[in-house]
Amino acid sequence: MKPKAKAAIIATALITAGILTAGAIWGERTKPEPTDYLTFEHVVYTGDSLWSLCERYSGYEDIQDIIQRVREDNGIKEPGALQPGQKIKVRVKKLGR
């Protein structure tokens, strides 16, 4: 076999190995990280308050902790300023964690 042919075969093998390795690494990076939280999404209705929405999850953890996390996650500066139709996410710790 000619030296150029050997070099081409080696180069092809190295490129293939590199692509396979990169694909494996990319696959690992794109897997979602496990979390210790459950996330629920709510649409705010007339008469809802941050307290009343979070109170549903007080069995998971202290309601004050839930309210604080909801405010941070949703950028709520004034808890009394919820608007009907607004969507908010509520994250609570999984039981037993």
pLDDT tier for residue 70 given thresholds of 50, 70 and 90: very high
- In this prediction, residues 10-20 reach a mean pLDDT of 77
The structure's pTM equals 0.61
What is the domain partition of the chain in residue ranges?
1-31, 37-93
Q: Please name the fold of domain 37-93.
A: Membrane-bound Lytic Murein Transglycosylase D; Chain A (3.10.350)
Mean predicted lDDT score pLDDT of the chain: 83
pLDDT in tens, 45-55: 999 999 999 99
pLDDT score of 71 more than 90:
yes
Measured CA to CA in angstroms, residue 48 lies from 9, 10, 12, 66, 78 at distances of 68, 67, 63, 16, 14
pLDDT tier for residue 25 given thresholds of 50, 70 and 90: low
